[in-house]
Amino acid sequence: MNLTDNTILITGGTSGIGRALAEAFYQRGNQVIIAGRRQHLLDEITAAHSGMHGIQLDVQDPADIEAFASRIREQFPKLNVLIDNAGISKTEDLTSDPIDFFAIQSMIQTNIVGVLHLTALLLPTLKQQPHSTIITTTSNLAFVPISPYPTYCASKAFLHSWLQSLRVQLRKTSVEVLELVPPYVQTELGGASQATDPAAMPLADYIAEVMQILSTPNLPHGEILVNRSKAYRFAERNGDYEQIFASRNEK
């Protein structure tokens, strides 16, 4: 992937990894469009970055996704990078009565259905470009889940599998398919305390390593893996899965 002269759309671009990626790509001279639910954050970020665009999007609303994609196709016909980053994470107690199925459904809609829907709508535009890239954010929890987050982990495992098939189906087109596999990073995805948790990877360090990896051609298996993600990613291959799973789920 070229790191400059792109037109890049980033969902979930108002906080955490999405915002940090938007700023990193902006600093490299790309045209960047961020999408998110909170208009005040879109306004704040774009005001601080002249030329960056912010468009409100609720990925849990199929009609909003349709309207958003139509606007993107019309306003940014040279779109050549889609970063599917929007996602939510919630703990679940599957022993409770009743189980909060609304929380489960919202994660599936945001983390899976919204990603597939928006990608399908923008893929024709991406295929029209000489070189284009789809980057979808998964998680190292796609490979070794932790029990308090069953649906979140499963949603990321789904995306990992889906991306493998998408990559093969698009191999004869101009579209490169990459998977961003974050470790535990200092963002507010899992709550405010995660942003300052010393056990989590500092966000700036994560983004710096990601941008370095992206500058490398022909990524193995199309996966953007920082060093902290590799133990999880290759746990099965290395024979460490049971040990890592037990250590993360011992409570």
Contacts of 175 (CB under 8 A, 6+ apart): 123, 126, 127, 132, 133, 134
Q: Token pair of 52, please?
A: 């960056």
* Three-state secondary-structure class, residue 208: helix
Q: Quickly count: other Cβ atoms within 10 Å of residue 241's Cβ.
A: 15
Cα–Cα distance for residue pair 5/7, rounded to 1 Å: 7
Cα–Cα distance for residue pair 166/116, rounded to 1 Å: 11
Cα 94 to chain centroid, rounded: 26
* Active site (catalytic) residues: 152
CA end-to-end span of the chain: 42
